[in-house]
Structure 1
Amino acid sequence: MADEVPGQASRTPLPGDSAYAAPGGPVARADARAASAATPRTPTIEEISAELDVLESMSGYNIEAAYDRAVELERISEGLCETVLALRAKLVQVDVQIRWGELASVVPVMWQVNAWAVANGCRPLLARSHLLMARAYWELADMASVLEHMVSSMEALDESTLPRIRLTHLMKLADALDETGSVEASRERYRQAERLAATIDVERHVTVLNNLAYAEYKAGRYDVAWEVVERLLAISEMGGYEPDPLIMDTVSRVQIALGHYPEAVMAAQTGVLMHESQELTHATILPEVLLTLALAQRHMGDTKNAQKSLDRSRMICEEHGYTRILVQVRQEQAELHAASNDYRRAFEAYKVYHATEKELVSIQQEARARTRQAMFEAAEARQEAELFREQARRDPLTGLRNRRYVDEHLPAILTDAAATGGSVTIALVDLDHFKRINDTCSHDVGDQVLVAISGMLEAVPAGATPGFAARMGGEEFLLVMAGVTPTEAVARLEDLRASVAARSWRSITGDLPVTVSIGITASQADSTQAELLALADANLYTAKHKGRNRVCATSGATGASLFPAVPSDRRRHRDAPPPPAAG
């Protein structure tokens, strides 16, 4: 099996047709596959469609069998001239290959199916292709692209979509919203998914609750997570459903967080036993449950058995290339040595953990590069590369335009303004003391601040034609506004500065404030992009030099202030620093 490209996979895949998972299911069992292969009769179109329904839901479990059967169903469908069925079978293969980490090779296939679905108005295939593209980006930890494709996927569904299919898409959207920090929107989608799952079957209802419990656990809301777990277990018992190993892993994780270590050990051990007794299990669950078991055993003080559990998890990860889980195993190994008071070995293990973590990042970066290159090549092949050009001109973290977009569009905006006698306002916005936020809180918190600031920046050019916000790199942003006077543009930017300073950032940065400094200039008839950016940068430097959290706006030609004549209470917000004392 190829190396797994690590990423935060969805906690529990939604189950498919229960007949498939049950003993004697038509595809899952090897004897059934053998019997099917021995039967000369070609399946009907209805039978192929039904079998694809099952494979689409269960390809994350018995993945080798799912892939082989999908290849065969594609061949049969092509022989029957059933293009839609053949493309569905092709996407089942893509799904399996994504799970194997073969992203670059399947990207062209996904886009080809997507293009065919658009051209032929096939909404089910369009939704499915966007879902799989979201899954590919999930493996690359590119959550902004995941969310983009999940929104497109949901838009492709219609009233004829089966509830179980809608549920799959709704759950993935909830997961994507959760990962991108839209907690309330995510929780609302989980609630919608739970209501829908309750109308289908107990297994799906329990699956939704498991994902919700894990999301609350990751968010640090352990009491809420446990309430969801208790509801999950009650519904399972009432419905006669036996939770699977992934669910027991969630239960154990929440119990560890709450300090219920004996119960956590029991839950994880149950998950391991379930994995060994159940015919169908998700590919990576055993090393994950063993890791959780080791964590619980360490907290119990049972370091000997914790080491055994961890060794077994590590061996599976190394054998199958599960790098994402292996990073966590290495980290836990350092903790385990420390718990045994073997600090020398703990230090050595911690170094190995960091090396593995760097390897993980390298794999992700390489996979992203290969995947994006494959996307570009696929787009060129069908001469419909507009979406790829758009992605290449947007910052993946914030969704704003990037430097490439600026270089391609700003010169034309300046030329048009000069031809009509208008002017373009250019502003460079820089976060004050941003390194302190990264160093004190974390780079993840820094990213959250950047995303929040980006949302505020996007609103500034509203009504400016043309106008846009861009991320130039790091914590520096560019705002371009044409079609409005420099006076109005500066007023908007002063309001932006005051709004950033006034906003409550406590939930993100704690006690650290977030402010911005802004350097502004306006174009003249013969202004160039380089000149304007240099002038805006000089004004930004002046704003920083004068104490930060302020705006410096001057005309490049005359050096005159561009500040509008507005009352001082608009220019000064209560959280802005007072002007420096005379002298």
Structure 2
Amino acid sequence: MNSAELDDLEDWVGRDPAGRAARAAEIERETGDDVVRMRARLIRADVAERNGELRAAAEAMWLINEWAHAHGNRYLIARSHLLLGRTYRNLGDVAALLEHAVAAVEALEETVAPRRRLPYVVKYADALTETGSIDAARERYRQAEELARHSEDPRDRIMVLNNHAYAEHLAGEPGRAWAVVRRMRATAIAHGYRLDPNDLDTVASVQIALGHYEDAEQTVLAAITGYPDAPLEADALPEFLLTLAITRRLLGDPGNAQQTLDLCREQCEAHGHGEILVRVMQEQAELYAATGAFRQAFTEHKRFHAAEKEVLSAAREAQARNRQALFEVNEARQEAERFREQARRDPLTGLRNRRHVDETLPALIDNATRTGVPLWAALLDLDHFKQINDLCTHEAGDRVLVEVARLLVASEPAGGFVARLGGEEFLLVVTGLDQSGTAAFLERVRATIAGHTWREMAGDLPVTVSIGAGPAMPGDEQADLLARADARLYEAKRAGRNRVSAGGALCR
């Protein structure tokens, strides 16, 4: 399995969605690579969302997003945000669309090839357009064009220009939109590329806005002719037919306009395109009015309004259901996060626990041995802690443990962490310091605890710690590193307690 096939499957939109999902499922089953498995799973979620399986798709996207964050995989973070943005956009939540689009772009590493970065910048620009920030969108489309220049496929630059032209059209700037259309056409001609039906639909929309109805008619006819050979959504053909009917009415050709509208209605009724069918009714009323059949126009216009209310009501109900489904997904995700966090925290002190250590420390050791950045494990043990429990009660002992934990957190080094391993034993993981720096840091920790005021909790009994620390070495497992630190801790206790022992490998 190579990444090129995954790239193709991620880009394989509009063609044989069932085949795309099936191939992704095969990859997910066969691979032993977790990253490949997650990419394949995200492709399946993409297909599911396009098929209307919103809840299952959103759950998968969020789980993959969380996995990617936990494993530092910035590409999967970016792609999952990209797809989540589209999911929320389809619910009409353009604010969430923009939020996810920004997160997707920010997550991409600089090493990602320009062509793989391109869709993220375009979708960011599209999101800015939909939130009314056309000036900011223009800058992003310009950046996307620069990225597209690195691609050998002219369709990449045409895709950018098509989206930019449609954005200008939506912003009520037909003149600007036409200037972009002209550049798109010039690019296609220069590379011997024929614009696909979606590109032509954008061109026709701009031509209609400019009043160039004859040109728009020819453009839409070309889109319809190219429809069978293009990977388009199922509602593309009735959309093109409706645009053609409108254009012919505007041209003063009601006979052909009616024939085209009838064909569009047949397509909608045969394939269940209810929302387009409502717009067919609206256009039918316009067409009756254009031919002087005002009574029929009035009747059809009433039918249109009734159908529009029904469709809007159904759409609102579906949107409410989908929003509830996503709310439940998010709520369950947050609840699971809370449970996961609680399972990795010591209930008394709030510090990380042994489970967190077992999940986190091996990766830190591996990174340290690969990069050469020093990593030290320091074990801290409270001296004569049993006396505090026996003479001052277990409640006092718990208060001492909580306060020690607070002091350790206050001293926590960047890049490391503090954990309670059990009883009176704690772990401090220190990164980026050499032996002398680590010893000095741990000595400050020891002195802070020894110099703290403990009388309220422990009476006249002293509260001190012994600390033993050892460095991670090539080939180390977690057990090796902790055994090295434990041996140094034993040295510190044997030497009289309330001291630090930090050194390298033990002599045997």
Length-normalised TM-score, structure 1: 0.55
**Structure 1 residues 348, 94: CA separation in 2 closer, same or farther (over 3 Å shift)?**
farther
Unaligned segments of structure 1, at least 5 residues: 1-44, 388-583
Q: Does 1:205 align with 2:166?
A: no
Q: Which residue number corresponds to residue 266 of structure 1? A: 218
Q: Does 1:62 align with 2:13?
A: no
Q: Which residue number corresponds to residue 268 of structure 2? A: 317
Q: Which residue number corresponds to residue 67 of structure 2? A: 116
Contact 1:59 1:92 in 2 (8 A): no
- Residue type matched to 2:172 in 1? G
Q: Which residue number corresponds to residue 191 of structure 1? A: 142
1:72 is matched with which residue: 18, 26, 29?
A: 26
Aligned 1:418-497 pairs, distance under 5 A: none
Q: Deviations over 1:11-58 (max 9, x none)?
A: xxxxxxxxxxxxxxxxxxxxxxxxxxxxxxxxxx21xx3222112112
If asked which structure has higher relative contact order (CA below 8 Å, sep 6+), I would say 1
| Aligned equivalents of 1:300, 1:311: Cα separation in 2 | 18
2:85 is matched with which residue: 131, 134, 137?
A: 134
Deviation at 1:231, TM superposition (A): 1.2
Deviation at 1:301, TM superposition (A): 1.4
Q: Does 1:289 align with 2:240?
A: yes
Aligned 1:558-577 pairs, distance under 5 A: none
Deviation at 1:91, TM superposition (A): 1.8
Q: Which residue number corresponds to residue 375 of structure 1? A: 326
Contact 1:59 1:95 in 2 (8 A): no
Q: Which residue number corresponds to residue 181 of structure 1? A: 132
Contact 2:55 2:329 in 1 (8 A): no
**Structure 1 residues 269, 382: CA separation in 2 closer, same or farther (over 3 Å shift)?**
closer
**Structure 1 residues 324, 163: CA separation in 2 closer, same or farther (over 3 Å shift)?**
farther
2:190 is matched with which residue: 231, 235, 238?
A: 238
Q: Secondary structure at the match of 1:286?
A: helix
Deviation at 1:385, TM superposition (A): 7.2
Q: Deviations over 1:268-305 (max 9, x none)?
A: 001100113x1533433212211111111111112222
1:255 is matched with which residue: 167, 189, 207?
A: 207
Q: Which residue number corresponds to residue 305 of structure 1? A: 256
Q: Which residue number corresponds to residue 220 of structure 1? A: 172
Q: Which residue number corresponds to residue 392 of structure 2? A: none
Q: Which residue number corresponds to residue 100 of structure 2? A: 149
| Aligned equivalents of 1:187, 1:385: Cα separation in 2 | 40
| Aligned equivalents of 2:150, 2:179: Cα separation in 1 | 21
**Structure 1 residues 345, 365: CA separation in 2 closer, same or farther (over 3 Å shift)?**
same
Q: Secondary structure at the match of 1:161?
A: coil
Q: Deviations over 1:130-183 (max 9, x none)?
A: 111111112112111111111111111111222222111111111111111111
Aligned length, in residue pairs: 337
Contact 1:210 1:232 in 2 (8 A): yes
- Residue type matched to 1:263 in 2? D
Contact 1:107 1:375 in 2 (8 A): yes
| Aligned equivalents of 1:180, 1:74: Cα separation in 2 | 36
2:277 is matched with which residue: 303, 326, 332?
A: 326
| Aligned equivalents of 1:73, 1:321: Cα separation in 2 | 34
Q: Secondary structure at the match of 1:229?
A: helix
| Aligned equivalents of 1:230, 1:187: Cα separation in 2 | 16
Q: Which deviates more, 261-270 or 96-105?
A: 96-105
Contact 2:149 2:157 in 1 (8 A): yes
| Aligned equivalents of 2:271, 2:23: Cα separation in 1 | 22
Deviation at 1:380, TM superposition (A): 4.4
1:346 is matched with which residue: 284, 297, 302?
A: 297
Query: What is the aligned-residue RMSD (CA, Å)?
Result: 2.2
- Residue type matched to 1:352 in 2? R
Contact 2:49 2:58 in 1 (8 A): no
- Residue type matched to 1:252 in 2? A
Q: Which residue number corresponds to residue 231 of structure 2? A: 280
Q: Deviations over 1:164-212 (max 9, x none)?
A: 2211111111111111111111111111111211221311111111111
**Structure 1 residues 196, 81: CA separation in 2 closer, same or farther (over 3 Å shift)?**
same
Contact 1:140 1:367 in 2 (8 A): no
**Structure 1 residues 334, 52: CA separation in 2 closer, same or farther (over 3 Å shift)?**
farther
Q: Secondary structure at the match of 2:245?
A: helix
Contact 1:170 1:193 in 2 (8 A): yes
**Structure 1 residues 283, 69: CA separation in 2 closer, same or farther (over 3 Å shift)?**
farther
**Structure 1 residues 94, 305: CA separation in 2 closer, same or farther (over 3 Å shift)?**
farther
Q: Which has the larger radius of gyration?
A: 2
Deviation at 1:324, TM superposition (A): 4.1
| Aligned equivalents of 2:275, 2:139: Cα separation in 1 | 29
| Aligned equivalents of 2:90, 2:261: Cα separation in 1 | 24
- Residue type matched to 1:336 in 2? L
Q: Which deviates more, 346-355 or 207-216?
A: 346-355
Q: Which residue number corresponds to residue 385 of structure 2? A: none
**Structure 1 residues 184, 240: CA separation in 2 closer, same or farther (over 3 Å shift)?**
same
Q: Deviations over 1:427-478 (max 9, x none)?
A: xxxxxxxxxxxxxxxxxxxxxxxxxxxxxxxxxxxxxxxxxxxxxxxxxxxx
- Residue type matched to 2:159 in 1? T
| Aligned equivalents of 1:331, 1:74: Cα separation in 2 | 47
| Aligned equivalents of 2:9, 2:314: Cα separation in 1 | 29
- Residue type matched to 2:217 in 1? V
| Aligned equivalents of 1:198, 1:310: Cα separation in 2 | 41
Contact 2:238 2:268 in 1 (8 A): yes
Q: Secondary structure at the match of 1:181?
A: coil
Q: Secondary structure at the match of 2:302?
A: helix
Length-normalised TM-score, structure 2: 0.62
- Residue type matched to 2:149 in 1? A
**Structure 1 residues 273, 151: CA separation in 2 closer, same or farther (over 3 Å shift)?**
same
Aligned 1:101-112 pairs, distance under 5 A: 101-112=52-63
| Aligned equivalents of 1:358, 1:385: Cα separation in 2 | 40
Deviation at 1:90, TM superposition (A): 2.0
| Aligned equivalents of 2:122, 2:145: Cα separation in 1 | 9
